[in-house]
A = this chain, B = another copy of it.
Amino acid sequence: MEDDSTHLEKSESQHNMMDGEERDPESNSLHQPLLKRNRTLSSNPLALVGAKVSHIESLDYEINENDIFKHDWRSRSKVQVFQYIFLKWKLAFLVGLLTGLIATFINLAVENIAGYKLLAVVHLIKKKRYVIGFAYFTGANLILTTVAAVLCVWFAPTAAGPGIPEIKAYLNGVDTPNMFGASTLIVKIIGSIGAVSAGLDLGKEGPLVHIGSCIASLLGQGGPDNYRLKWRWLRYFNNDRDRRDIITSGTSSGVCAAFRAPVGGVLFALEEVATWWRSALLWRTFFSTAVVVVVLRLFIEICSTGNCGLFGSGGLIMFDVSDVVVRYHVLDIIPVTIIGIIGGVLGSLYNYFLHKVLSLYSIINQKGKIHKLFLGLSVALFTSVCQYCLPFLAKCRACDPSITEACPTNGRSGNFKQFNCPDGYYNDLATLLLTTNDDAVRNVFSTNTPSEYTMTSLLIFFALFCILGLFTFGIAVPTGLFLPIILIGSAYGRLLGIAMGSYTHIDQGLYAVLGAASLMAGSMRMTVSLCVIFLELTNNLLLLPITMMVLLIAKTVGDSFNPSIYEIILELKGLPFLDANPEPWMRNLTVGELADAKPPVVALSGIEKVSRIVDVLKNTTHNGFPIVDEGAVPPGFVVPVEKALHGLILRAHLLQALKKKWFLTERRKTEDWEVREKFNWVDLAEREAKIEEVAVTQNEMDMYVDLHPLANATPYTVVESMSVAKAMVLFRQVGLRHLLIVPKYQAAGASPVVGILTRQDLRACNILTAFPHLARSKKDH
């Protein structure tokens, strides 16, 4: 957790009794003083989904204005500035290119593996060898799941799950460890292929977003941690600000590759993932997604000649309904509203139950790696059994001769699966279940086929995928949320379409599309980006107005019940995400009161003894320390009268000073050239060092370090009387890691810093733990 939290946790137990006392409901909060001392803010010890997150640092998005940075910046030539800009564009290009290529590879692999698997099964079924078919189908799926799960459990735990919440947290300033490494990338790619080919109820969309971000991060830092390229010009990107920008591009490219939606990708990153946004970033991100689209288009052209094995029209063009004439009149507003409301209600129910299932899973997953693996395999087994056996419940239906499409089909894809039926008949449930998820979506979206599915089959399909959608997401393979939600949503959309019958002018396939959109909005709570993604997916602009209506209604309904699914997962994972807007009750609390509830600030002198630095680094987990200069002691006083805040020094930089043995034998200021000789800003970008690795001799312990040149001389400060709401606006808008609190009235000899605020301190749940009366006032209000 960030900075002070571990420290806080230790001291929390001491105050538990007092906490309990003050939470007494009898005590009237109105008569209590606002200011409560001796209370500590606790971190949020919530259950973690999947991987154990041990130590999450915050990112430094603030410009660290210390002497070295200033000197380095001034010495940059015009050519270097140009190199830097050129490189940014080159990286954006590479991110798009590689994401496009990897998306192509995943699509090819999935379509071929799943395709040959299904072909063999269909073959066996045609020969009525049902049991062998079942064994083959289930066995293949279990093997594929095992590959994915073993990789995720043993080699890269962070590759499990969708990854989007962690990316969202990263762009908010939370650095989840091992999130963007090379092993994560490789496991994610292979695991995603395995899991999707295994027919599990999950998509490759979420993983592709994570893959895009991994590529971006690896490119930005010049390769994986251990084999990093040390190219000179890459050093410009060795800072959190530029990494943030590249990862934003990567996220957009991933969404673009998943849905072939370049504008939707940019907007998804903007609306859902990114916390800070600049218009220059908009442009560069757009460039990345344009590259992805070009790559995908090239690949489709190449594959259209049949060079890609079983890859036909599958995989990429998910559901093109551009040839459908959309007609609707004013009365169609009623079913559209109903879809929106259902989407909102079901979406929030889905969020609610998914929360429960994930909490349950985290208990199972904590028991060990084998448990994780078996959990995944059980879900895969259940999925396979249902997919194979349920179609036998459906009756065979005669092919409609008026439809031009082939019926029945025996191939891998196609709209009217023969399954166990005689020639001239098809099994509508097998069409939906015994196929890849992408094909299932395409089949349920199919237009101009009003009598293809029976109500019963669609109800079974809907119920099955509700169950699978809840129980598949938490297993230890790369999972995506988009496809399960689209499947559930399209099922009830099409059901409603059938129920409306001739009362509506809208095609059943479009009802399915609207249902999918409504459930996405009801669960993920996005509007503009979803609208554009659906626009680009369905390739039909005439759908726009009704899609907008459905999305707005579903989001409104959903928001009145619970937060979005990503926010729920973020909270489950215990990631200290900082919301955009302060809670209203934060206006009733000043940062001074907040600082009083924390342990006192650990400050260092401008020229500090080595022993004190080592002591401080060993005994605290703080990542930033204010530097306070003490003036001389005037005659007649015992303490220095004038203390002044010089700045803030980061733990990493203190460690660098110790590691480089940059010690002085006497208490004096260093010269500029001395600093520059020892440090350049490549050193200062290094963050990996630990205090345990630094050896300092007893002799050196009595020496001094001049911390002035290493400190950020201009940290952002707020006065202690400022409300938490206002401080939070500053913290989040500017993207800070530490915010110093200065006293309103400076008494002689008093410290010029009364507290430090970090991300954890500004989170609503943490403040409410320390100030429970605010929660009460919140309810009263």
Contacts and interface: CB of A to CB of B under 8 A. Distances in A.
Nearest to A296: B545
B719 A286 contact: no
A612 to B, nearest CB: 23
Interface string A28-47: 00000000000000000000
Given A263-B531, A726-B714, A548 B293 contact: yes
A397 to B, nearest CB: 34
A277 B278 contact: no
Contacts of A77: 781
Contacts of A713: 721
A734 B723 contact: no
Contacts of A283: 527-528, 552, 555
A262 interface: yes
B279 A580 contact: yes
Given A63-B726, A722-B714, A746-B746, A287 B733 contact: no
Nearest to A525: B283
A121 interface: no
B65 A262 contact: no
A739 to B, nearest CB: 11
B287 A552 contact: yes
Q: Which of A70, A527, A584: most chain B Cβ within 10 A?
A: A527
Number of copies: 2
Categorize the interface residue count of chain A: 35 or more
Contacts of A286: 527-528, 531, 548, 552
A580 to B, nearest CB: 6
A734 B730 contact: yes
A245 to B, nearest CB: 12
A282 interface: yes
Interface stretch (A179-187, A471-479, A532-540): A532-540
Q: Which of A282, A645, A719: most chain B Cβ within 10 A?
A: A719
A351 to B, nearest CB: 18
Given A541-B541, A734-B733, A723 B781 contact: no
A590 to B, nearest CB: 8
A723 B322 contact: no
A289 to B, nearest CB: 8
Contacts of A10: none
A583 to B, nearest CB: 12
A745 interface: yes
Nearest to A266: B528
A642 B743 CA distance: 13
B290 A723 contact: no
Contacts of A65: 587, 722-723, 726
Nearest to A629: B745
Contacts of A78: 781
A544 interface: yes
A549 interface: yes
Interface string A42-69: 0000000000000000000001010000
A587 B70 contact: yes
B642 A527 contact: no
Interface in A532-564: 532, 535-536, 539, 541, 544-545, 548-549, 552, 555
Interface in A476-535: 527-528, 531-532, 535
A322 B325 CA distance: 12
Interface string A281-295: 011001100100110
A360 interface: no
Interface string A582-593: 001001100000
Given A73-B587, A282-B528, A781 B81 contact: yes
B730 A723 contact: no
A69 to B, nearest CB: 9
Contact of A548 (B262, B719, B725): B262
Given A279-B580, A528-B282, A531-B263, A548 B290 contact: yes
Contact of A734 (B294, B717, B734): B734
Interface in A247-272: 262-263, 266-267, 270-271
B734 A263 contact: no
B721 A294 contact: no
Q: Which of A77, A531, A744: most chain B Cβ within 10 A?
A: A744
Contacts of A545: 262, 290, 293-294, 297
A339 to B, nearest CB: 15
A581 interface: yes
Given A65-B722, A539-B541, A282 B271 contact: yes
A520 B516 CA distance: 36
A644 interface: yes
A174 B730 CA distance: 21
Contacts of A322: 541
Contact of A716 (B555, B588, B721, B730): B730
Contacts of A76: 781
A304 to B, nearest CB: 12
Interface string A80-107: 0100000000000000000000000000
A331 interface: no
A280 interface: yes
Contacts of A716: 718, 730
A367 interface: no
A744 B644 contact: yes
Contacts of A278: 580-581
Contacts of A644: 744-746
B528 A263 contact: yes
A745 B642 contact: yes
Contact of A552 (B263, B279, B290, B541): B290
Contacts of A552: 283, 286-287, 290
Contacts of A719: 645, 714, 717
Contacts of A230: none
A74 interface: yes
Interface in A110-157: none
A729 interface: yes
Nearest to A642: B745
A587 B69 CA distance: 10
A269 to B, nearest CB: 11
Contact of A714 (B297, B580, B723): B723
21 contacts: A74-B588, A76-B781, A81-B584, A262-B545, A262-B548, A263-B528, A263-B531, A278-B580, A278-B581, A283-B527, A283-B555, A286-B548, A293-B548, A294-B545, A297-B545, A541-B541, A714-B718, A730-B730, A733-B733, A733-B734, A746-B746
Nearest 7 interchain pairs by C-beta:
A714-B722, A733-B733, A290-B548, A644-B745, A539-B541, A283-B527, A293-B545
Given A65-B722, A644-B744, A714-B719, 12 more contacts: A65-B587, A81-B781, A263-B535, A280-B580, A282-B527, A286-B531, A286-B548, A293-B548, A642-B745, A642-B746, A714-B722, A746-B746
Interface of A: 63, 65, 70, 73-74, 76-78, 81, 262-263, 266-267, 270-271, 277-280, 282-283, 286-287, 290, 293-294, 297, 322, 527-528, 531-532, 535-536, 539, 541, 544-545, 548-549, 552, 555, 580-581, 584, 587-588, 642, 644-645, 713-714, 716-719, 721-723, 725-726, 729-730, 733-734, 744-746, 781
